[in-house]
């Protein structure tokens, strides 16, 4: 990198490089006056070679000579500039020998001033200012070579080296501008999700501009772009269990590759991917348990004839050993099938559409009723036919029952009403057999139906259907016993 400073070691060398141009006049200067105290004695600087000719000190020995450089620039050996013409009149023979050397010194200090002016312009300079400074520096070099005063060879080498440093800095700045443009293009491509193009540009910057960029920062950008690119291809969802292993391995590799990313959005996505990985691992464990449970579930078939007791207990043990949704679903289907056989639908051997009504005397009238209305349309009684066909096409005159002698209107038979209530409760129970409320409601329905049947059968004229709900009542009570209900919970509750 270019070292830019108003007074620095290279400039101190440059100043001292001019000293040989004036070394021959030192004795004359000493005769004209004393130098300021802060200017080191010329005797402290060895300006001669073994042959006696002036020589520039080694740059390595000038680390602490900033004071010398400043003194030379500020004093310019008695303010510098050309000697006044009347100075020659005082002692022409003595001063004539000084005039030429004085001019050499003035030229040298002018040169140092020009170089320092260029150096000052470099502080905080942009590329265009650097290029302008380079042009000024090249002109200084050209002028110096054109004059080429005695003893200036080493000075020219200093100027050449400084010129090369400046040109190198310009080259670096230009490359940095090019690299910055490529980085902006790469970021833009990634924002548009054109990751292939973005990745290619990042790789080009690292390959061609590593000397002018923060390599670590660009590598981090490249890694972030790869993160989003590979995230799009990551199998976050899979259509079936056969892909679970592939999904797990892909997620593990992805997390291993990008766990060190520090960006907020990336960290949030990594947490999401980590959660998905845990879900996939759980699915794999569940799939393994499902496979292990298939044979025990199939073995429940041997309990189909008498399932409740040992069969239900075995199903509960399977549910506890293999606690997966699939296993519970299979067990629930099996238990519901058992319940369907244990709690079958009820059938009635009575004609469809037959109705009943109770008389005020407590008798049950059964038949197919036809209302009898008065002139105003009000029902005053009912005719009762033995069959639906007879009601539709009467072949004989039947009696009429006055409405005042009946407790209500003809309706479905009590057995039919009980069967319908039972059927509805049984359907709800089989649809949600793990629900305690459904079992309690089913038991109450059966108890109510049984009570209604007992009361109904005490009345003359009631049907003598062999219908009973006592078995269902006892079955529901058995299921609701704590030990048995705990087995049901093991099968239904997660």
pLDDT value of position 442:
98
Interval 296-351: pLDDT, tens: 999 999 998 888 889 999 999 999 999 999 999 999 999 999 999 999 999 998 89
- CA nearest neighbour of 117 among 7, 260, 235, 2: 7
Domain boundary residue, one of 172, 190, 211: 172
Q: What DSSP element (H or E) covers 183?
A: helix 153-191
**How far apart are alpha carbons 75 and 87 in whole angstroms?**
19
Considering the domain architecture, whether residues 146 and 71 belong to the same structural domain is answered as yes
- The residue whose two tokens read 């319908």 is 420
d(CA 67, CA 75): 12
Tokens of 368: 């197919």
Around Cβ 414, how many Cβ atoms within 10 Å? 22
> For the chain, what is the mean pLDDT?
78
Task: Answer yes or no: do 343 and 363 share one domain.
Answer: no
pLDDT in tens, 6-52: 444 455 445 545 544 444 344 344 333 343 444 344 344 444 444 44
364 within domain boundaries:
yes
Co-location of 336 and 363 in the same domain: no
Specify the pLDDT at position 77: 44
Cα(439)–Cα(428) distance, integer angstroms: 9
Q: Are residues 364 and 492 in the same domain?
A: no
Q: Round to whole Å and give the CA distance between 195 and 435.
A: 54
Q: Could you tell me if residue 223 is inside a domain?
A: no
SS3 content of the chain, % helix, strand, coil (to 5): 65, 5, 25
Distance CA 375, CA 388 (A): 26
d(CA 102, CA 105): 5
Percent of the chain with pLDDT over 70: 73
Q: Are 291 and 327 in contact (CB under 8 A)?
A: no
| pLDDT of amino acid 321 | 95
Residue 397 lies in a domain: yes
Report the SS3 class of residue 36.
coil
Task: Note the pLDDT of residue 433.
Answer: 95
Distance CA 401, CA 405 (A): 7
Same domain, 468 and 381: no
Tell me whether residue 307 is in a domain. no
Last residue of a domain, one of 116, 141, 172: 172
DSSP characters for 213-239? S-HHHHHHHHHHHHHHHHHHHS--S-S
Angle of helix 264-298 versus helix 325-342 axis, rounded to 10? 40
60: its two tokens: 């390595």
Q: What is the mean pLDDT of each run of 10 residues along the chain (494 residues)?
A: 43 49 41 40 42 43 44 44 52 55 66 72 67 75 70 72 76 82 90 87 89 88 86 70 77 84 83 86 90 95 88 95 95 96 92 93 94 91 92 87 94 95 97 96 97 94 90 96 96 89
Q: Distance between CA 253 and CA 257 in Å, rounded?
A: 6
**Separation CA 166–CA 273 (nearest Å):** 51
Residue 413 CA to residue 356 CA, distance in Å, equals: 5
Of the three residues 172, 194, 209, the one that is the final residue of a domain is: 172
Residue written as tokens 């002139």?
Answer: 375
**One domain, residues 334 and 423:** yes
> In sequence order, which residues have a C-beta less than 8 Å from that of residue 444 and are 6 or more positions away?
none
At residue 42, the 3 state secondary structure works out as helix
Question: Nearest to residue 255, comparing CAs of 267, 244, 265, 237?
Answer: 267
Q: Do 372 and 494 share a structural domain?
A: no
Whether 475 is in a domain gets the answer yes
Q: Tell me if 134 sits within 8 A of 164, measured CB to CB.
A: no
315 vs 115: CA distance, rounded Å: 97
Q: Which of 101, 115, 211 is nearest to 166 (CA)?
A: 115
Query: Considering its fold, how many domains does the chain have in total?
Result: 3
Residues 454 and 387 in one domain: no
On whether both 344 and 439 belong to a single domain, the answer is yes
Alpha-carbon span 320 to 300, nearest angstrom: 15
Domain match, 363 and 494 both: no
Helix (H) or strand (E) holding 411: strand 406-412
422 in a domain, yes or no? Answer: yes
Residue 108 lies in a domain: yes
Do 69 and 22 sit in the same domain of this protein?
yes
315-349 in b/e burial notation, b at 16+ Cβ within 10 A?
Answer: bbebbeebebebbbebbbebbeebbeeebeebebe
Structure tokens at 437: 């409320």
Q: Which domain holds residue 106?
A: 9-172
What pLDDT was estimated at residue 62?
Answer: 41
Same domain as 33, residue 159: yes
Contact in structure between 149 and 104 (CB atoms under 8 Å): yes
Q: Where are the beta strands (DSSP E) in 117-195?
A: none
How far apart, in Å, are the Cα atoms of 396 and each of 97, 384, 399, 403? 170, 12, 10, 22
* Residue 114: exposure state from Cβ atoms within 10 A (0-12, 13-18, ≥19): middle
The rounded Cα 292 to chain-centroid distance in angstroms is 36
288 within some domain: no
């Amino acid at each position: 990198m270019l070292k830019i400073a108003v007074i620095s070691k290279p400039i101190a060398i440059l100043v001292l490089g001019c000293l040989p141009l004036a070394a021959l006049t030192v004795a004359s200067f000493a005769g004209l006056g004393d130098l300021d105290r802060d200017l080191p004695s010329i005797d402290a600087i060895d300006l001669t070679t073994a042959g006696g000719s002036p020589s520039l000190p080694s740059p390595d020995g000038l680390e602490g000579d900033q004071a010398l450089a400043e003194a030379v620039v500020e004093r310019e050996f008695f303010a510098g500039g050309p000697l006044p013409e009347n100075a020659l009149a005082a002692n022409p023979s003595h001063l004539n020998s000084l005039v030429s050397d004085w001019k050499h010194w003035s030229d040298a200090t002018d040169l140092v001033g020009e170089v320092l002016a260029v150096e000052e312009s470099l502080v905080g300079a942009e590329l265009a200012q650097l290029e302008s400074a380079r042009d000024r520096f090249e002109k200084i070099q050209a002028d110096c070579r054109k004059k080429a005063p005695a003893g200036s060879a080493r000075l020219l080498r200093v100027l050449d080296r400084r010129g090369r440093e400046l040109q190198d800095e310009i080259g670096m700045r230009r490359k940095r501008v090019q690299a910055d443009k490529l980085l902006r293009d790469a970021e833009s491509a990634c924002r548009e999700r054109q990751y292939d193009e973005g990745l290619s540009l990042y790789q080009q910057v690292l390959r061609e501009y590593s000397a002018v960029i923060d390599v670590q920062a660009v590598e981090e950008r490249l890694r972030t772009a790869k993160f989003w690119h590979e995230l799009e291809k990551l199998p976050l969802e899979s259509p079936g269990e056969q892909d679970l292993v592939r999904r797990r391995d892909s997620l593990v590799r992805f997390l291993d590759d990008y766990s060190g990313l520090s960006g907020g959005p990336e960290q949030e996505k990594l947490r999401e991917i980590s959660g998905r990985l845990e879900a996939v691992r759980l699915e794999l464990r569940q799939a393994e348990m499902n496979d292990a449970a298939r044979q025990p579930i199939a073995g429940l078939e041997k309990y189909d004839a008498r399932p409740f007791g040992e069969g239900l207990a075995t199903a509960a043990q399977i549910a506890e050993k293999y606690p997966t949704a699939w296993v519970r679903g299979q067990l629930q289907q099996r238990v519901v099938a058992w319940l369907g056989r244990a709690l079958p639908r009820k059938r009635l051997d009575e004609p469809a559409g037959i109705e009943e009504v109770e008389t005020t005397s407590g008798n049950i009238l059964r038949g197919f009723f036809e209302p009898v209305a008065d002139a105003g349309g009000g029902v005053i009684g009912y005719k009762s036919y033995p069959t639906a066909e007879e009601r539709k096409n009467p072949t004989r005159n039947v009696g009429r029952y006055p409405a005042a002698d009946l407790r209500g209107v003809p309706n479905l038979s009590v057995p039919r009403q009980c069967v319908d209530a039972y059927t509805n409760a049984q359907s709800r129970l089989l649809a949600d057999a793990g629900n305690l409320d459904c079992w309690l409601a089913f038991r109450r329905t059966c108890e109510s139906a049984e009570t209604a049947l007992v009361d109904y059968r005490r009345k003359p004229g009631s049907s003598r259907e062999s219908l009973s709900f006592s078995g269902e009542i006892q079955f529901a009570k058995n299921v609701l016993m704590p030990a048995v209900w705990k087995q049901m919970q093991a099968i239904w509750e997660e």
